[in-house]
Amino acid sequence: MKKISKIAPLSLLASLSLGLFALVSPISSAYADTTGSSTTSVGVTAGSLSLDSTPDLAFTSLGVGDIANATSTVNSPLDTAGNIQVTDDTGSGDGWSLAAGVTDLTNGDNTLDVSSLTINNVSITPSTDGSTTSTVWDNSASTGGTLTQALSSSNTSITLGQDTNVLAGTYSGSVNWVLTANTSAETQGAE
């Protein structure tokens, strides 16, 4: 009888183990056979193209005799207050161009003729209102972001015409900047 009493608990334990395995097995296989997928996305909204800052150009002084006797070029800006900064957040990749126009310099009723203003090694011919412009930067294949450019004596100068009647004083004028977005061939065809 002792044999039966030892076998009975072992049989009971084996039956319980198999029963638990039978209960657990279908649950774990149900999870193992189930898969799925989903997608993720994010929208990117186009921003703007902006001319954030432009420098004031103050060139070193010339003597009356310099201007009265010859055409004079000043290659070194005494001060370039600020940088040219353009931000392209359009996301178009088309790029942009920046042009500049210049007026003659005045001091009250006196005018000092500007033969040319050179910015980024591009010569700009003056006009009365500064509306005649020349492209000084062409960012034709823009990847976007912000471009900050400092002007230096190696790429910026002003040439003044000879004036035998020049009067002493501080002469000033305007530099007019025009930022234009380039247009891709796809955009042009869609219009």
Report the alpha-carbon distance of residue 74 to residue 68 in Å, rounded. 15
The answer to whether the beta carbons of residues 132 and 101 sit under 8 Å apart is yes
The answer to whether the beta carbons of residues 89 and 49 sit under 8 Å apart is yes
**3-class DSSP state for residue 11?**
helix
- 171: its two tokens: 């002469």
In the chain, domain spans: 1-33, 49-182
Q: Residue 9: its pLDDT value, please?
A: 57
CATH (residue range 49-182) = 2.60.40
Q: Residue 110: its pLDDT value, please?
A: 96
Q: Residue 170: its pLDDT value, please?
A: 96
Report the alpha-carbon distance of residue 105 to residue 114 in Å, rounded. 7
Q: Residue 15: its pLDDT value, please?
A: 56
| CA proximity to 179, closest of 57, 53, 56 | 53
* E-only strand ranges, the chain: 49-53, 56-59, 72-74, 77-81, 84-88, 96-102, 105-107, 110-112, 114-119, 122-124, 134-139, 145-149, 156-160, 175-181
Mean pLDDT, each 10-residue run in order, the chain (191 residues): 55 53 52 83 93 90 94 78 86 91 96 94 93 91 78 87 96 96 61 43
- Global pTM reads 0.73
